[in-house]
Structure 1
Amino acid sequence: MRTARPLQTGQPHPHTQATCAFAVAFEPADSRVEHMRRITKAELVTNAIQHGEGAVELRVEVRPCELRIAVTDGSHQKPVLRNAADGEEGGRGLQLVDAFAKEWGTSGDGRTIWCTLSLTPDGA
């Protein structure tokens, strides 16, 4: 299991209007890598909607050799990586993020959770 680290501050986070849906294509389009990216984005956004407060903001940044996904909401409660019981329907979202992401963490105030994913199919 990886250790989460704080969000690097100093970057502006402008508020944007919410959209109903969007699609982003990334290279390479290897299906395993693409599924990891989609699952990770969906888990972070779902957690913000279910457990956060207020509006939810999604930021996706393409950086050299990696994709950075950040989700911000109004809650100051930091997400917790936990082990769900066998019978529970939920509680595994951050486990998926932890497994797929190169690294992940939260902002100091708990409002933003972020992760980085490799843009190479082999995860290097």
Structure 2
Amino acid sequence: MTSTTTAVAPAASATKRVAAPGFDVSFVPADFRVGHMRRITRAYLRCHGMADLIDSALLAVSELVTNAIRHGGSRPVGLRVAPFADALRIEVTDGSSTRARARAAAADDESGRGLLLVSAVSKEWGVSDDGRTTWCSLATTERSS
């Protein structure tokens, strides 16, 4: 499995934004918030005609939000989901300057595969230069406005 990882988020002006607005939500880190963020994302995708992305988006949201909760300390977590013409962008910010990285988990490890899963369902993923935001882009077909 190869990973298409980009260290810096592509400039917003480089990708055509679509008519549907995205959403941002900030929350205090707690394990039960993962389910909340999944439900919000699912409802958003259904309401904006992107049901075909639900499975991949929910997996990405689960993994990125879980990482932020586990590794971001007690800092607030932010989730942003934004549609573009050719991708759905998911960003999770946790305020920690420690960069997320994919790692090789042993066969009997109970964790450590999250970013590998994100890589598998996304067309690209990366971490902001300051290490505070981990993001991924899910491929879409161009949608009419």
Q: TM-score, normalised by structure 2?
A: 0.70
Q: Quick one: which of 29, 38, 63 aligns to 2:58?
A: 38
Unaligned runs of 5+ in 1: none
Q: Deviations over 1:41-85 (max 9, x none)?
A: 111011000111300000000111210000001210001111100
CA pair 65-8 structure 1, distance change in 2 beyond 3 A: closer
CA pair 85-44 structure 1, distance change in 2 beyond 3 A: same
Hey, which of these two has a bigger chunk of helix by percent?
2
Q: How does 1:1-124 map to 2 (within 5 A)?
A: 1=2, 2-8=4-10, 17-18=26-27, 21=36, 22=40, 23-26=43-46, 27-30=49-52, 33-53=53-73, 54-120=75-141
Unaligned runs of 5+ in 2: 14-23
Counterpart secondary structure, 1:116: strand
Q: TM-score, normalised by structure 1?
A: 0.80
